[in-house]
Amino acid sequence: MEIIKWDKTFSVNVLRFDEEHKSIILVINRLNAAIQKNDERENVSDALNAMTLYAISHFKTEEDYMTRFGYPEYELHKEEHREFTRTTIGFCESVTNGNYNIAYDLVEYLNHWLTNHIQGTDKKYTECFNKNGIY
Ligand SMILES: [Fe+2]
């Protein structure tokens, strides 16, 4: 079952970012499907790896454009990215401490964070990025 379905309401009108958002949504849906089958242990690690990469690579690309184009809401946006990064580290620490029982919390967190962030915060940069030739 898909917990989040990517549709036009998630589009930020920048192809690369839409593709990256789709790929992290795929990670949540895969983890959610694994929970239904009681087979989430390996998927928890996969999800955390994907979240870590996402925080390093995807956020940096978005933030680089924001600084380059003088995006006015850069600091607020970056603070949301930081919050995601801190939470990801917290989940990683749970697993390091032997607590794999975080799959459900992980899905819930990702579902709410990504939906709010992409549909609320990310979409605000569309006009600025498009105006600067980034589609
Ligand atoms: Fe973002």
Domains of the chain: residue spans and CATH: 8-131 (1.20.120.50)
Task: List the shell of residues around ion ligand 1, using CB closer than 5 Å.
Answer: 62, 122
State mean pLDDT over 13-36.
96
pLDDT in tens, 44-69: 999 999 999 999 999 999 999 999 99
What average pLDDT score do residues 22-41 get? 92
pLDDT value at residue 124: 98
8 A C-beta contact, residue 65 and residue 129 = yes
Q: Return the pLDDT at 45.
A: 92
The structure's pTM equals: 0.95
- Residue 102 alpha carbon to ligand 1 centre in Å: 24
The predicted-structure confidence for 77-116, as pLDDT tens digits, reads as follows: 999 999 999 999 999 999 999 988 999 999 999 999 999 9
- Buried-exposed string 55-94: b where 16+ CB fall within 10 A, e elsewhere: beebbeebeebbeebebeebeebeebbeebbebbeebbeb
77: CA distance to ligand 1 center in Å?
A: 6
* Ligand 1 mean position, distance from CA 33 (Å): 25
